[in-house]
Amino acid sequence: MKTRVCVAWGVAAAMVAASCGPTGDNTAPELDLSPGGPEALYKIGEEVLITAFGNDEDGDALTFDWTVRTDNPLSTIEDTATFITTAQSATFRWTPDSADITAGDPLRLIFITTDARGARTEREKKITITPGNGEPVFDSSANQLYKECCDKPLVFDVVVIDPDAADVTLMMSEEPSGARFEQIGAFKGRFTWTPEGSDGDQRIHSVKFTVNDGQNPPVDQLVTIVIPPDDLGGGGGRPTDPEADVCVGERLIEHNPLGSQREPKPEFTINAALKSGTERYDKYIMFWSDRDPTFDTDATVFSTDMVRDGNTISGAIPNVAAREGKDQTIAYKICLFDSLASDEDPDALVCNPSVNELFHNFKAYADAGSGCLEDPLDKSSRPNDTRQTASPMSETAWEPFTACGGNQDFHSKPVRPGQSFALVVSYPFGAQLDLELLDVTGTPIPSSFDVSDCSGLAIAEIGRAHV
């Protein structure tokens, strides 16, 4: 039986209402745009994505708006742009097409924030839309994590943007044996692969895709497929002793997992320190998703190359909560690999967390004042706040739970006399989580959890019936 507790660190802080509005001066709000700068240039087909962050010194509530000044009567901007607002930010998205090419003056995009007392601040950005050179561009990830190797096939879509073509031809070359690729749309192809024989033992595979728009020279994209190790206690099997060597990744890649994020900022920076023993690794990748792949096997996992500076590697995850205007749980995993290792080398890849199916996760809040994002159990009409309302746990799969500060959760497992079981809890390393095992009378079972000193795993093994 495995249970997973995901801690939302940000203790739901009660918002103290301002007792009365200041009677004196009102300071106008600040407004910052991301990306910054007074001007920007985009090609048709390329998304214009701008987030406006507001801040009011007096603590006044803010509203956001935008407007555009353009001489182009055919502009699609008013009809196709979207604008999602939260209490502190607003995100503008628009994909210009050929009618939007700016012939003379750039269009002027104006963002406005207004505080509750009517003081407003504007920021303007001049936007130039060019036809581009008509070259097709790959819009899908250059790294793929094959986390369910090799029972289920690896399937991912290859997507291309080409603003001036009705369709393109997509092809695959230099693929691992048994891989298939078919074009499934004017700008999209689907890759499917089930490893044959010992191919699944090889950690890193690469595959080349080529797009041809019939006008420009063909463009290639090299995609790296990473198969995470399954011999580190994960792989669907029961995690082993937390003191055993499931921590190899945590020791080599030192990282303090991110807690809850409430600050309005365009992205979340993830840093890790490379420790002794990592000299051989030459590629640093962060995999992330806005759905936790541990529980949701259909989650799209994005990847980003991490940048190395001395012994620190860093990468960024966009603030999808601000962008979507909705609280999110974000999962991520940091991996290093040795691109020159031999095919069979099991150490060619190392990740933090080490356990194959686990990801770090944190809550990203759209508004600084949002309450802690609870799980459905706590939001139900009969929350699992007491021993009497404890929710039964799965015996076969990880289950996601959220523990919010100051709000207890109870989970239960009926056990027959003489039956033994193990309970595994995974939570962000370093989080202050009080775990306790109680018997059927509510009496604590002493020293029941064995807590790992290197990862967020805690395991209780019960040999005799206590519960």
Please, what is the minimum distance in Å from the beta carbon of residue 169 to Ca ion?
Answer: 11
**What is the bridge-based pairing of β-strands 6-8 and 402-404?**
parallel
Residues composing the chain = 467
- Token pair for 336: 């290093």
In the complex, the smallest distance separating the C-beta of residue 49 from Ca ion, rounded to whole angstroms, is 22
Kindly tell me which of 165 and 336 has the beta carbon lying closer to Ca ion: 165
Q: How far apart are CA 223 and CA 140, in angstroms?
A: 9
d(CA 179, CA 192): 6
For the CB of residue 189, give the shortest distance to Ca ion in the complex, in Å: 16
Residues forming contacts to Ca ion in the complex (CB under 5 A) are 26-27, 56, 58, 60, 115, 134, 162, 164-165, 213, 375, 378, 385, 402, 407, 409
Q: Which residues contact 55 (CB under 8 A, 6 or more apart)?
A: 29, 30, 32, 88, 264
Report the alpha-carbon distance of residue 234 to residue 249 in Å, rounded: 13
CA-to-CA distance for 183 and 199, rounded, in angstroms? 25
Cβ closer to Ca ion: 135 or 201?
135
The answer to whether the beta carbons of residues 369 and 88 sit under 8 Å apart is no
Report the residue number, 56 or 230, with the smaller CB distance to Ca ion.
56
Q: Which amino acid is at 371?
A: G
Nearer to Ca ion, 56 or 100 (CB): 56
C-beta of 230 vs 374, nearer to Ca ion: 374
**Shortest distance, position 165 Cβ to Ca ion, whole Å:** 4
Classify the phi-psi angles of 325: left when phi > 0, otherwise alpha if psi is within -120 to 50, otherwise beta: left
Type of residue numbered 81: A
Least distance from Ca ion to the Cβ atom of residue 283, Å:
31
Closest contact distance (angstroms) between CB of 319 and Ca ion is 24
Which of 162, 292 has the CB closer to Ca ion?
162
Q: What is the Cα–Cα distance from 466 to 417, expressed in whole angstroms?
A: 8
**8 or 341: whose CB is closer to Ca ion?**
8
Please say which residue, 21 or 236, places its beta carbon nearer to Ca ion: 21
Closest CA to 246 of 453, 64, 394, 57: 453
Minimal distance, residue 414 CB to Ca ion, in Å = 20
Q: What is the H or E stretch that residue 8 is in? A: strand 6-8
Q: Is the dihedral of CA 129, 131, 134, 135 positive or negative?
A: negative
What is the Cα–Cα distance from 147 to 334, expressed in whole angstroms? 14
Compute the C-alpha angle 272/274/278, nearest 5°.
145
DSSP 244-280: SGGGHHHHHEE------B-S--SEEEEEEEE-TT-TT
Measuring CA to CA, which residue among 290, 250, 296, 291 is closest to residue 273?
250
Nearer to Ca ion, 136 or 266 (CB): 136
Least separation, in Å, of the C-beta of 64 and Ca ion? 14
Q: Minimum Å distance from CB 375 to Ca ion?
A: 5
Smallest distance from Ca ion to CB 222, Å = 21
One-letter amino acid of 93: R
Residue 67 DSSP one-character state: E
User: Rounded to the nearest 5°, which phi and psi values hold at 440?
Assistant: -65, -20
**Distance in angstroms (rounded) separating the CA atoms of residues 394 and 415:** 13
- Which CB sits closer to Ca ion, 169 or 271? 169
Which residue, 319 or 402, is less far from Ca ion as judged by CB?
402
Minimum Å distance from CB 131 to Ca ion? 10
Q: Which of 211, 212, 209, 213 is nearest to 222 (CA)?
A: 209
